Amino acid sequence: MSSSISVTVIGTGYVGLVQAICFAEMGHRVCCLDIDEQKIARLNRGEVTIYEPGLEELIRKNTAARHLSFTTDASEAIDSSRHILIAVGTPSEEDGSADLQHVLKVAQTIAEHMSESKLVYVKSTVPVGTNAKVSNTIHQRLVELDKQHLEFSVISNPEFLKEGAAVQDCMRPDRIIIGCEDTAVFDEIRHLYMPFNRNHDKVMFMDCVSAELTKYAANCMLATKISFMNEMSQIAERVGADIEQVRLGIGADPRIGYHFIYPGCGYGGSCFPKDVKALIHSSREVDFEPQVLASVEAVNQLQKTHLLESVDSHFKGDIKGRTFALWGLAFKPNTDDMREAPSLQIIKGLLDGGARVLAYDPKAADNCRAILGENSAITYCDHKEDALDGADALIVCTEWNEFKAADMNSLSQLKQAIPVFDGRNIFDPDYMRYQGIAYYGIGRGLSV
Ligand code: UGA
């Protein structure tokens, strides 16, 4: 049994909010701190600022149970807990490096408001060496404030949440990585995470630098699997193989496995593109040229425009004045996140060619509009069927469940068959052929 602990989470973005809610759900008392007053006011009203299945319900439940509170008052938030998590953003700089200004600013704030010793966990995804910088920043500020007698430990504690399944991933983690050299605080850390151990201890202790690299190595490994499969899909198309058969064939080998080997129109999101670039940047800083990572990134860029090439070749370079239905805008299903979404490049290519787009996404239309601005050549539809109305072709960029059976419903009811460009291989080429639909998947050639 573990007893309730007070925890402060700084930053109510994706990672901070999910982790805070999961701590609260496990019975810890959690205070969330953010400088954004509007966001905190909305959270205090039980309104969720991001779309993530299960989140809103858990916020309301835990706020009502007084396990969870939101504030902009740094002094109150930092004073109230010994365990402080930093979960603020680390956006990419132009050169691919991570911008650490928010993390280091928070480190200063912690030093300014602490009046007793603290355990500071760095949850934000930060390059190798950042925990040492956080430690130095806190130390320096404490010296300036004549509070150097206060003790603190900085702990690297990366997150491994997937958008769309974040609550579940956080509640049932595969592992909890703890980078910490201060063995005296191990028991306290174990205690904090004890509620997340289901069948066995999930906490893995290691040194700080190894924990920092573990986060990047995990995301880069996953991105590598995807780019590898996307490269295979290009080869498959040219030699006349079906990548989906190949995927099943190789996945059966337990050394390879079935996870994360789905070819598609490229990986997006806030993590893979940013983290691959950041690790390339960090490697170059230590005079190492990472060849695999550079290729992973390059293959992904090519893959994001691959569907456009199929469209171009089908219409023999003439898409001017044509209308394209686009199903799926988000970078993956079950999220409204548009960051680095392949759909953005597809839309841009279509508009550049003089085409019109009828777009449908169950969640991400508003975010897409916010990125692209109002444009008379794009119409955001309320239903997937509306997007097909008058379309010359259908392009699928995200594998939302509601699209999967659509070949049998919406498409077969169209007056006239239109070509389908399936960026997620969700349709059955044989069925498409049977319906007389020209079907272009990824790595499957053309079925007519
Ligand atoms: C990713 C990792 O999966 C998480 O473990 C990690 O914690 C997170 O980044 C992070 O660093 O915060 P996420 O970006 O939410 O999570 O999304 P994924 O489900 O990993 O998908 C990323 C992209 O890869 C999507 O565009 C998806 O469509 C694509 N993908 C994924 C493929 O093209 N093929 C696959 O087989 C799997």
Report pLDDT digits (tens) over 19-35. 999 999 999 999 999 99
Length of the chain: 448
What span, in angstroms and rounded, lies between the C-alpha atoms of 411 and 404?
Answer: 11
pLDDT at residue 267, as a whole number: 98
Q: How far apart are the first and last CA of the chain?
A: 62
Placement of tokens 């950042």 in the chain: 130
Mean pLDDT of 72-95: 93
- Cα of 87 vs centre of ligand 1, distance in Å, is 19
When pLDDT is cut at 50, 70 and 90, the band that residue 416 belongs to is confident
CATH topology identical between 216-302 and 305-447: no
Cβ distance 340 to 368 under 8 Å? no
Q: What's the CATH fold of domain 305-447?
A: Rossmann fold (3.40.50)
- The answer to whether residue 364 scores a pLDDT higher than 90 is yes
In terms of Cα–Cα distance, which of 197, 259, 176 is closest to 222? 259
CATH number of 216-302: 1.10.1040.10
Interface ipTM above 0.90? yes
- Cα of 293 vs centre of ligand 1, distance in Å, is 16
Cβ distance 92 to 269 under 8 Å? no
Average pLDDT along the chain: 94
What span, in angstroms and rounded, lies between the C-alpha atoms of 329 and 312?
Answer: 20
280-295 pLDDT, tens digit each = 999 999 999 999 999 9
DSSP 265: S
- The answer to whether residue 315 scores a pLDDT higher than 70 is yes
- Name the least confident of 111-115, 130-134, 146-150, 441-445: 441-445
- The answer to whether residue 391 scores a pLDDT higher than 80 is yes
Show the beta-strand stretches assigned E in 52-202: 68-71, 83-86, 118-122, 152-156, 176-179
Cβ distance 439 to 422 under 8 Å? yes
Amino acid at 81: S
What is this structure's pTM? Answer: 0.93
- The answer to whether residue 95 scores a pLDDT higher than 80 is yes
- Cα of 273 vs centre of ligand 1, distance in Å, is 10
pLDDT at residue 2, as a whole number: 54
- Name the least confident of 172-186, 211-225, 403-417, 432-446: 403-417
pLDDT at residue 106, as a whole number: 98
User: Domain extents for the chain?
Assistant: 6-206, 216-302, 305-447
The pocket around ligand 1, CB under 6 angstroms, is made up of 125, 159-163, 219, 222, 226, 260-262, 264, 267-269, 271-272, 331-332
When pLDDT is cut at 50, 70 and 90, the band that residue 408 belongs to is low
Q: Name 336's Cβ contacts closer than 8 Å, sequence gap at least 6.
A: 50, 51, 330, 363, 364, 366, 367
What span, in angstroms and rounded, lies between the C-alpha atoms of 217 and 430?
Answer: 39
Amino acid at 292: V
In three-state secondary structure terms, 442 is: coil
CATH number of 6-206: 3.40.50.720
191 φψ region: left (φ > 0), alpha (ψ -120 to 50), beta (else): alpha
Show the beta-strand stretches assigned E in 334-434: 356-360, 378-380, 393-396, 420-422
Mean pLDDT of 170-178: 96
Percent of the chain predicted with pLDDT > 70: 98
- The answer to whether residue 93 scores a pLDDT higher than 90 is no
271 is catalytic: yes
Amino acid at 329: L
Cβ distance 445 to 246 under 8 Å? no
112-137 pLDDT, tens digit each = 999 999 999 999 999 999 999 999 99
* Catalytic pick among 208, 220, 271, 381: 271
**Residue ID of nearest Cα to ligand 1 atom 7:** 160
User: How do 83-86 and 6-10 pair as beta strands?
Assistant: parallel
Q: Which of 168, 271, 296, 401 to mutate to test the pocket of ligand 1 (most atoms within 8 A of CB)?
A: 271
Residue 340 CA: which ligand 1 atom is closest?
26
331-363 pLDDT, tens digit each = 999 999 999 999 999 999 999 999 999 999 999
When pLDDT is cut at 50, 70 and 90, the band that residue 97 belongs to is confident
When pLDDT is cut at 50, 70 and 90, the band that residue 417 belongs to is confident
**Residue ID of nearest Cα to ligand 1 atom 3:** 162
DSSP 156: E
